[in-house]
Structure formats: C-alpha cells, structure tokens
Amino acid sequence: MRPLPGALGVAAAAALWLLLLLLPRTRADEHEHTYQDKEEVVLWMNTVGPYHNRQETYKYFSLPFCVGSKKSISHYHETLGEALQGVELEFSGLDIKFKDDVMPATYCEIDLDKEKRDAFVYAIKNHYWYQMYIDDLPIWGIVGEADENGEDYYLWTYKKLEIGFNGNRIVDVNLTSEGKVKLVPNTKIQMSYSVKWKKSDVKFEDRFDKYLDPSFFQHRIHWFSIFNSFMMVIFLVGLVSMILMRTLRKDYARYSKEEEMDDMDRDLGDEYGWKQVHGDVFRPSSHPLIFSSLIGSGCQIFAVSLIVIIVAMIEDLYTERGSMLSTAIFVYAATSPVNGYFGGSLYARQGVSFLFRKEMDKADVYWGIPYPSYGVWHCLLHQFHSHLLPCFKSHSFWNNGGRLLHLFFCYSSSKSCWYNTWPKSVRFMEPAVIVCLGGILPFGSIFIEMYFIFTSFWAYKIYYVYGFMMLVLVILCIVTVCVTIVCTYFLLNAEDYRWQWTSFLSAASTAIYVYMYSFYYYFFKTKMYGLFQTSFYFGYMAVFSTALGIMCGAIGYMGTSAFVRKIYTNVKID
C-alpha cells in the first residue's frame, strides 16, 4: 500500500531537485566582462581582516579609510553565496576608465584623530589585509606596517594599479602598495592611486590561473595519497570478502549441519555466533527517532557533497565569488527530500509508522543539530561586530524552506521486519572499543586531502582539484563500508544484536579523528590567536567534523544494513 507514495516522493523530489538546481544557472546578468574604451571600470572594496584567518572579515570601510570623490556607479547584483560569505562590495570612489591611464593622484584625505589612529594601529598590529575586486578579479593589499621595535606604525597610502587587458577584456591586475606614511595623531593623510593599462597575452578564460597554486596542490602528493588509500581499499575489500566468504560459509555449514541433528542433540549442542541473534537483529534501534534523523541527514549531506563536487568539476566554480556556496546551499535545500525519504522510511521501518508524520515534526529538532552552534557564534560575532553577522540570519530561511520540503516527502514504504517480542539477553561485547577503532582507517584515507581542504579554507589558497576530492570521497565510502561491516560482524558474532548504533557510531568516529587533526592543524599550521579566532576556528571545525561524521555514519549504516539483511535472509529461521 505504501510503496506508491514512496516512489512518487522520490520522483517528485528528483524533478524538484532539477528545477532548483537550474534556478541559479539562469542568473547571468551581472557583468558581460567586456568594455569599450574609456568605459567605467569599478574598483570594489570588499573586506579587511587578519592575514592569518581568512574567514574573519570586516567591511573595508570599518577601518577609517576615506572614499574617493566619484559618487555614481552602475547597478550591481549580489548573489546569496556572496552575502553568506560576507562579501559586501562597496564602491571605492576611484575614477578608473578602460584603457585610460591615471597619473598618480590624491583621491581623498584622512583626518587622523586619536580614535582613527588607534583603529589603524590595531589593524596593523594584527596584520590586516584588505581585499578589492576589479571585474571580479580579487586584489589583496596590506594595510600598513610596524617598525621593528613596534612603536611606530606606518600606513601604505599609494595604490599603484597595473591592469592588463586583452582586446576588450580585463585579464590581469597587479597592485603595488607604496607611500609609507607614519601614523601621527592630528595630521592629515593623503591617499593616492595611479592606474596603468598594459596589453597582455593572457587569455580571458585563463585569467584566474595566476591565483591557483599548482606547486601547493602538487599533483604528485595527491596521486601518492590516492595510491596509498587505494592500496588500503584493495587490502580492505580483500580482507572483508575473505573474512565473510570463509567464516560465513563455515557458519552456514555449521548451522545447516546442526539442523539435521535432532532436537535433543541441538539442545545439548553449543550453538553460538551471529545466528543466535537472528530474532533480534531487526529489532528497532534504541532512540529510533534520533537515529533515523541522523541517517536521513547523513544521506542528505552525502548527496550534497557528491553533487557539489560534480558541479565543481564541470564548472570552475572558484572563478566566481561565492558561487561555490550558492551552489551548496541550493543543492542542500533541493536535497531535503533525500533526508525526508531515507530518514522517514527508516523511522517507519522501525515499526512506529502510524505516528510518524507527527513525529517527524519532532525530528526536525535533531535534523537541525548544527544550528544551535550558529547561535553561539551569533553572540560572539555580535560582540566583535564582524562583517559576517548578517549572513547568519539567512540560514533560518533555508532551514525552514528545507523543512517544508522535508516534511512533504516523508512518505515511505513501511515494511516492518519480524523480531522477537522479548530481547535476548546479550553477552555484551564492548561496543565502545569497536566505535573508537572504526574511525581510524577512514580517517587514514582522507587526512592528506583534509590538509589541502583546511588550507584552502583558512589560508589564501584556492581549491581547484575537485577530481581528487571526488576520488577521495569514493575511497572514503568504500573504506567506511568495509570497516563497519567487519565491526558489525564481530559484534554480531559476540551475540550483541545492537548493531545499528554501533555501525553508525563506528563510522562516525572518523569525525573525532578529523577534529583531533584540526587541533594539530591549528597549532602547527595556522597563526591564529585570541578568543575570537580560536572559537571561530574550533566552532567551524566542530560543525565540519559533525557533518562529516553524520555522513560517514549514514554511509556505514547503509552498507551494514545491506550486509545484515543479506546474511540473515540466508539463514533458516527455526
């Protein structure tokens, strides 16, 4: 009776998903990226922030910089992803025209009082850099410099822009900061700029290449790590299939031999092993609601990762500000049905189907597990007036939108499995050990890639080797499934039937290792300091690890449940 709505749900979800994925593609109205001679070229001021934490950003004009005299500018759109990343472009007021050189000229004056001086000194002490855009090309410059004894502070006041053009397109921008001026209270500081246009041979399609860093993302290291993980995969798959083939065949042989003995013999015989729990394996897990919400979320996160990586491989998403994040958010909203379908059907299969649509309302509480942590940041960010503040508000919009879809597709086929009315008393093996050990191998297969991903997130590197990321994701899936199957086999053999949570947690414990790795990364690879940066870093990493853990857990559970169903359907139930 139920499979029909389930199938309909999936079909409708697929259609909706396609629709939503196509939506962001249709907005190509921003810039043509072509200019006529003397046409206005806009220099956008973006953010300013400490060099050592790329994610902490403030508005450029939160520092008391002055604005140029030009006031009117052409219309500009912001995308959602830009807003979420804290990109909020403001016009610099500089007069720049295509192929029109500007001799060094003062564009404005800063009236430096004590307060403004302190602001600059603080920024210089913390190695603040600012970021600007010309025709979507990012430009970075340093705010100022301190002398060795740290008493005098200097501001760079002269921006020397060199812009390369190829035909009617801008293909290259270089910024040189000059004109060091000492910060003395109650003086006037003149800000100046010059623009030089140069013919360039760089092709428009290749203009982002200079921002990529092939020597950092060395392909050799990647191949090496992939090769390494691949060996591990082969080894693991071999191991798993060997264990299962041999022991399962032996087990089946033993069990069927026992069946031929008469009842008397069997009562005396020592039946042991996984078959003993056949009456209990399909018992619902404890806390079925939380469990199915986690599995649903994990499936969704997996779908999002997969789709975003594929899209990123096809289109070079890094060339457009925030497009990566926009895509991820759209895909996240569009894949909510995946969450609803897997979570809902699992919940229904746990035998509580008649209530479950009402219960799914409650599931949203768990579904939004990462959200409370945003709340904590919200306070912190408010405290520090960070530039990112407004962006967190739009999260609730996506949360609610997704929730609607999610509830809508919570139909499923409910096929409850038979299980004993009274649970068998278990000889508990220590699942905690299994859980802790389970994450090591999956972590081992991804940690080299983690280094590159962390570095591109926290430092000024642009990640562009999505092909490798895809390979690593595939390897991660295989390793996770293999490891959890082995873990579950041992668990069931010890006649402990509580495999659902164990399989989920043993795969999810990868996250613990990733989080531990992030500590190492923090202390040895970044130069962040202070309460704000530290909480910022560990908060983001906690959310990242949690998401990764839920994803791995769901993958592990899915693989294991297929395995469990397979071995127990071959057993004759007496």
Give the footprint of ligand NAG on this chain (CB under 6 A). 162-164, 172, 174, 198, 200
| 460/211 Cα distance (integer angstroms) | 9
Residue 163 or residue 450: which is nearer to ligand NAG going by CB? 163
Nearest alpha-carbon partner for 31 in 83, 98, 86, 113: 98
Per DSSP, helices labelled H in 276-417 are 288-314, 323-334, 336-347, 356-367, 371-384, 389-408
Residue 172 or residue 280: which is nearer to ligand NAG going by CB? 172
For residue 156, give the H/E element and its range: strand 153-166
Minimum distance, C-beta of residue 138 to ligand NAG, in the bound complex (Å): 14
Residue 169 or residue 406: which is nearer to ligand NAG going by CB? 169
Minimum distance, C-beta of residue 196 to ligand NAG, in the bound complex (Å): 7
Residue 147 or residue 205: which is nearer to ligand NAG going by CB? 205
Q: Which residue is nearest to ligand NAG (CB)?
A: 164
Residue 171 or residue 183: which is nearer to ligand NAG going by CB? 171
Residue 172 or residue 251: which is nearer to ligand NAG going by CB? 172
Residue 210 or residue 287: which is nearer to ligand NAG going by CB? 210
Torsion angle of alpha carbons 224, 229, 233, 235, nearest 10°? 80
Strands 187-199 and 102-112: antiparallel
The contacts of residue 111 (CB under 8 Å, 6+ apart) are 188
Report the 10 Å Cβ neighbour count for 224.
Answer: 12
Minimum distance, C-beta of residue 38 to ligand NAG, in the bound complex (Å): 19
268 token code pair: 């005396």
**Please, which residues bridge with residue 91 across strands?**
44
Strands 153-166 and 187-199: parallel
Residue 178 or residue 265: which is nearer to ligand NAG going by CB? 178
Task: Using the structure block, give the residue that is written with the tokens 């649509």.
Answer: 357
| 226/242 Cα distance (integer angstroms) | 24
Residue 164 or residue 340: which is nearer to ligand NAG going by CB? 164
6 token code pair: 């389930």
Strands 43-50 and 128-134: antiparallel
Strands 137-142 and 43-50: unpaired
Minimum distance, C-beta of residue 43 to ligand NAG, in the bound complex (Å): 15
The contacts of residue 416 (CB under 8 Å, 6+ apart) are 349, 350, 351, 353
For residue 548, give the H/E element and its range: helix 530-569
Minimum distance, C-beta of residue 199 to ligand NAG, in the bound complex (Å): 9
Strands 137-142 and 128-134: antiparallel
The contacts of residue 99 (CB under 8 Å, 6+ apart) are 37, 38, 165, 197
| 251/42 Cα distance (integer angstroms) | 74
Residue 208 or residue 563: which is nearer to ligand NAG going by CB? 208
Residue 172 or residue 449: which is nearer to ligand NAG going by CB? 172
Minimum distance, C-beta of residue 162 to ligand NAG, in the bound complex (Å): 4
Residue 163 or residue 331: which is nearer to ligand NAG going by CB? 163
Minimum distance, C-beta of residue 74 to ligand NAG, in the bound complex (Å): 23
Minimum distance, C-beta of residue 104 to ligand NAG, in the bound complex (Å): 16
Minimum distance, C-beta of residue 36 to ligand NAG, in the bound complex (Å): 20
Strands 187-199 and 90-91: unpaired
Secondary structure of the chain: what % helix, strand, coil (to 5)?
A: 60, 15, 30
CB–CB of 278/571 below 8 Å? yes
DSSP 506: H
CB–CB of 96/85 below 8 Å? no
Minimum distance, C-beta of residue 171 to ligand NAG, in the bound complex (Å): 8
Minimum distance, C-beta of residue 173 to ligand NAG, in the bound complex (Å): 7
Minimum distance, C-beta of residue 207 to ligand NAG, in the bound complex (Å): 11
